[in-house]
Amino acid sequence: MLLLRMYILKHTGLQRMTSYWPTSSITEQFPIDLRLDAVLVGDTPVMRRLKQAISIIAPSDVPVLINGPTGAGKEVVANAMHLMSGRTGPMIPVNCGAIPADLLESELFGHEKGSFTGATAQRIGLIEQAEGGTLFLDEIGETPLHVQVKLLRALETQTIQRVGGGAPIPVNFRLLSATHRDLQQEVAQKRFREDLLFRIEVFSLCVPALCEHAEDIPQILRSMEQGSRGGSTLQLTPCALALLMAQEWPGNVRELRNFHDRAQILFRNRTIAEDEARIALAPRLSFVGGAPAVAEPVVDAVPEGVTDLKAMLAGSGTLDLRTMLQRVEVKVIQSALELSEGRVTRAAEMLRLKRTTLISRMQKLGLESDGL
pLDDT in tens, 205-226: 999 999 999 999 999 999 988 7
Whole-number pLDDT of residue 204: 95
- pLDDT(142) > 60: yes
CATH number at residue 81: 3.40.50.300
| 106 and 243 housed in the same domain | no
Domain boundary among 266, 294, 322: 294
CATH number of the domain within which 359 lies: 1.10.10.60
Domain total in the chain: 3
pLDDT tens, residue by residue, 159-188: 999 888 878 999 999 999 999 999 999 999
pLDDT of residue 20: 40
pLDDT classification of 299: cutoffs 50, 70, 90: very low
Q: Is residue 319 a part of any domain in this protein? A: yes
Q: Which CATH number does the domain housing residue 239 bear?
A: 1.10.8.60
Share of the chain above pLDDT 70, in %: 78
Strand partners, 135: 92, 175
Specify if 302 maps to a domain: no
**Bridging pattern class, strands 291-294 and 285-288:** antiparallel
Q: Report the pLDDT averaged over residues 228-247.
A: 81
Provide the pLDDT for residue 327.
Answer: 76
Residue 40 forms part of a structural domain: yes
Return all residues near 357 (Cβ < 8 A) that are at least 6 apart: 348
Residue 349 within any structural domain of the chain = yes
Q: What percent of the chain has pLDDT over 90?
A: 51
Reported as a pLDDT band with limits 50, 70 and 90, residue 41 is very high
Residues 10 and 59 in one domain: yes
What pLDDT shows up at residue 209? 95
In a domain, 300, yes or no: no
Question: How many other β-carbons are positioned within 10 Å of the β-carbon of residue 121?
Answer: 8
Q: Which of 243, 263, 294 is the last residue of a domain?
A: 294
pLDDT band at 18 (very low <50, low <70, confident <90, very high): very low
Same domain, 322 and 274: no
Residue 128 reports pLDDT greater than 80: yes
Name the residue with higher pLDDT: 235 or 360: 235
Q: What is the mean pLDDT of residues 62-84?
A: 95
Give the model's pLDDT for residue 302: 46
Same domain, 37 and 82: yes
Q: Same domain, yes or no, for 64 and 141? A: yes
pLDDT higher at 24 or 196: 196
CB atoms within 10 A of CB 307: 11
pLDDT at residue 190 above 80? yes
Cβ atoms of 32 and 69 closer than 8 Å: no
Do 201 and 218 sit in the same domain of this protein? no
Please check the confidence at residue 227 and state whether its pLDDT lies above 50: yes
**Non-local CB neighbours of 354 within 8 Å, separated by 6+ positions:** 348
In a domain, 226, yes or no: yes
What average pLDDT score do residues 295-299 get?
43
Among 153, 186, 206, residue at a domain's last position? 206
Q: pLDDT grade, residue 14 (50/70/90)? A: very low
Q: Is residue 251 part of a domain?
A: yes
Same structural domain, 19 and 119: yes
Across the range 122-139, mean pLDDT stands at: 95
**Are 269 and 148 in a shared domain?**
no
The pLDDT of 328-357, averaged and rounded, is 81
Beta carbons of 107 and 126 less than 8 angstroms apart: yes
Between 42 and 25, whose confidence is greater?
Answer: 42
Q: For residue 104, what pLDDT band results from cuts at 50, 70 and 90? A: very high
Tell me, yes or no, whether 321 and 342 share the same domain: yes
Please check whether residues 67 and 45 belong to one and the same domain: yes
pLDDT of residue 165: 82
pLDDT digit string, tens, across residues 303-341: 444 545 556 556 666 666 666 667 777 888 888 888 887
Lowest mean pLDDT among 21-35, 100-114, 255-269: 21-35
Q: Is residue 304 situated within a structural domain?
A: no
- Given this model, what pLDDT does residue 19 score? 39
Which residues constitute the domain of residue 156?
Answer: 2-206
Question: Are 60 and 113 in a shared domain?
Answer: yes
Specify whether 148 is located in the same domain as 126.
yes
The larger pLDDT score, comparing residue 295 to residue 50, is at 50
What's the mean pLDDT in 53-77? 95
What's the mean pLDDT when you consider all of the chain? 82
What is the rounded average pLDDT of the residues 228-241?
Answer: 77
